[in-house]
Amino acid sequence: MPPPQLDDLRRHAVARSLFKPTTLHSAIRRLGFIQADPIRAPARAQDLTLRHRVKDYRAGDLERRYPRLQVEEDFFVNYGFLSADLQRLMHPRTPRAAWPAATRKRSQALLDFIRERGEVHPREVDAHFAHGSVENYWGGSSSATTHLLDGMHYRGLIRVARRENGIRIYAAHEHADAPLDAAQRREQLDALVDVIIRKYAPLPAASLSNLVRRLRHGTPQWQADLTAAIQRARQRLSHARIDGVDWFWPADEKPSSSRHALKDEVRLLAPFDPIVWDRRRFELFWGWAYRFEAYTPAAKRKLGYYALPLLWCDQVVGWCNANTDSGRLKASFGYVEGRAPRDRAFRSALADEVDRLKLFLDL
């Protein structure tokens, strides 16, 4: 089989990510990790990601069904939802900064309280302990108990049992001991790296390194081992150099295979969808720069507050800003070429995608 070209990699990236819709449980296991974001425009990123990959998915299904799934909220390369099996590979987690004695004492008291109650709402914790407030990461003030709960969650002492109106409800959590054998640690880290690759491949070399290094969020105890993990990954992956860029993908996949023919479909993708997430790869594949501008001042936005990349077959030809108003979907579109593709099939496919979006939102 001839070596793949950039077009082959692009088609392969789209086809392998947009697999045939399956059950929510199977989709989570296949993706490994779904990045979360609280903004609803017109729905949260995790729901916008899952709607293309879960049969008959509706906005909010992940949160509603979360307690019955083998799923955890946690940090991986970002914060999001991941399988319980994957989370176990990252714990017990050892943060880079140890807590002072006073914080450890408060956390133990809080953990005892949670174990006694089974599940707790942060408001219930606040009422019981009333620890005051601390400066949070955004420069404002937040509840000290909420801050402590976040730290305990990150350390794996507690887990998110469910959400109530979007608020995390916590329960106590325990993890197995850390692996003492160096070979076992390498095996666990390599398994985590393989989840990244299988979600985001094919990847340019720089993106592969960047994504693996982001495991410092999920496995700070292994930060010193990440460079070696990148080198091991490169050795076990398939590889091609195209237009001066080194690309990597799983060794059991063949991007140049003709079976990656794509349907004439339009997809509106979340800003953190696996197809979109790596901006370096995005520009190499589609020749223009997509930017997430929700936190950009309005006057400086070029695409819009929460622009959804518009995928037509294997080409991202534009973007859409969508929101709901009085039970109606409002959508505006922009195009890289300044106008929509003239293909009649595109207009029909776009109308179908808008209808699917309405159904997903229960409009």
C-alpha dihedral over 100, 106, 111, 114, to 10 degrees?
-150
The C-alpha angle 24, 316, 210, rounded to 5 degrees, equals 70
Query: Is 168 in the same domain as 218?
Result: no
Residue with tokens 């105890």: 221
Q: Establish if 43 belongs to a structural domain.
A: no
CA distances to 269, 313, 345 from 341, in Å: 18, 12, 9
Q: Is the pLDDT of residue 259 over 60?
A: no
Q: Establish if 15 belongs to a structural domain.
A: no
Query: Is 120 in the same domain as 153?
Result: yes
Per the structure, the count of domains in the chain is 3
Instruction: State the DSSP string of 86-108.
Output: HHHHH-S---SSPPPHHHHHHHH
Could you read off the pLDDT of 9-67 as tens digits, one per residue?
999 999 999 999 999 999 999 999 999 999 999 999 999 999 999 999 999 999 999 99
Domain that holds residue 194: 182-249
Per-residue 3-state assignment (H helix, E strand, C coil) for 138-179: CCCEEEHHHHHHHHHHHCCCEEEEEEECCEEEEEECCCCCCC
The C-alpha angle 78, 154, 192, rounded to 5 degrees, equals 50
Query: Is 266 in the same domain as 351?
Result: yes
At a CB cut-off of 8 Å and minimum separation 6, what does 108 contact? none
Last residue of a domain, one of 123, 153, 172: 172
Q: Establish if 16 belongs to a structural domain.
A: no
Query: Is 276 in the same domain as 240?
Result: no
Last residue of a domain, one of 218, 249, 280: 249
**Residue 92: pLDDT band by 50, 70, 90 thresholds?**
very high
* Tokens linked to 136: 């949070």
Nearest to 361 by CA among 311, 313, 327, 316: 327
Last residue of a domain, one of 110, 142, 172: 172
Query: Is 140 in the same domain as 206?
Result: no
Average pLDDT of the residues of the chain: 93
pTM above 0.85, yes or no: yes
Q: Can you name the residues that pair with 120 across neighbouring β-strands? A: 170
Query: Is 282 in the same domain as 300?
Result: yes
Q: Establish if 24 belongs to a structural domain.
A: no
Query: Is 206 in the same domain as 236?
Result: yes
Could you read off the pLDDT of 104-130 as tens digits, one per residue?
999 999 999 999 999 999 989 888 887
